[in-house]
A and B are shown apart, each in its own frame.
Chain A
Amino acid sequence: MSNGSLWEYANPVKFMRLSGRVLPWVAGLAAVLVGGGLFWGFFLTPDDFRQGSTVKIIFLHVPAALVAINAWIMMLVASLVWLIRRHHVAALAAKAAAPVGAVMTVIGLFTGAVWGQPMWGTWWAWDPRLTAFLILFLFYLGYIALWSAIEDADTAADLTAVLCLVGTVFAVLSRYAAFFWSQGLHQGASLSLAPGTRMDWAYKAPLYACMAGFTLLFVALLLAGTRTEIRARRYRALMVRERMYA
């Protein structure tokens, strides 16, 4: 019986039931928004008077960077839930989020470098924001490697959760380094709620569609990945039982 609490979804059976129902809708909506947003951004936006057609790279770069940073924040929350309440689904969700976040970080770094070459005259600069983002990527790799390196699942969840807490510094720096140091090549926020908008709606509208689409894509991949991790854990438990009674 449902008690209406969020914590009931820490039960793998309940999580599988709910996520199985929700996943097709989230994946479908993500496909529409990512497909539509990227089509709009690539085919229907004008060139920028200064950046020329390289402005079209923003529709990949900004949503990917947004997801890369927020995926780590989501992993932080899931890790804290694991450390404090020992809910296995939370630990497995954090594990499932890491490859998605890592690929989004690569897309952010790659598109940033390809845009930076013609606009800044360099593929890379040791700018605070860029460097923090690169270190965040290394933390993603370390996090994934640590999960694979430790056989005992609970120990792996404990150690990766601690690594996640440490790496959060770089996730935050990736977002706010430009404010903290006010130096480096990378500009501040392209989108802001503050008055005096910096971006025309011709770019902003498709960019919002891409950001929503990438976020939903992350949620869809997270749900699918967590379902796989839950099944993989059950598979290992059944294998152990089978060997014991063989």
Chain B
Amino acid sequence: MMPDLGAYAVEVTLAWLGSLALLGGLIAWVWLRGRRVRAELDQIENRSERKRHG
């Protein structure tokens, strides 16, 4: 399944693994930050809702 990368195996593997790691890191950062901010906002909205109703 793995293609024969010949004389440039190191360069091609390095470029692909490095780029996929960067892409994965970016996606994870956007997703986790979104989740954290949403949880914080839910918390403060619930708190202000409770205050308003007594």
A positions within 8 Å CB-CB of B:
42-43, 47, 52-54, 56-57, 60-61, 64, 99-100, 103, 106-107, 110-111, 114-115, 117-118, 217, 221, 224-225, 227-228, 231-232, 234-235, 238-239, 241-242
Asked whether, in the complex, the Cβ of A221 is within 8 Å of the Cβ of B27, the reply is yes
Tell me the number of A-to-B contacts counted with CB atoms below 8 Å. 96
Q: Chain A at the B interface: mostly helix, strand, loop or mixed?
A: helix
Q: Is the CB of A56 within 8 A of B16?
A: yes
Q: Are A111 and B8 in contact (CB under 8 A)?
A: no
Task: Determine whether the beta carbon of A224 is less than 8 Å from that of B31.
Answer: yes
Given known contacts A56-B16, A115-B11, A231-B37, A42 and B3 CB-to-CB distance under 8 angstroms: yes
Task: State the CA gap A52–B12 with chains docked (Å).
Answer: 10
Taking a contact as CB atoms under 8 Å apart, the answer to whether B41 and A99 are in contact is: no
Q: How far is the CA of A221 from the CA of B34 in the complex (A)?
A: 10
Q: Are B1 and A52 in contact (CB under 8 A)?
A: no
Please tell me if B6 contacts chain A, counting CB pairs below 8 Å: yes
- Asked if A103 contacts B22 (CB within 8 A), the reply is yes
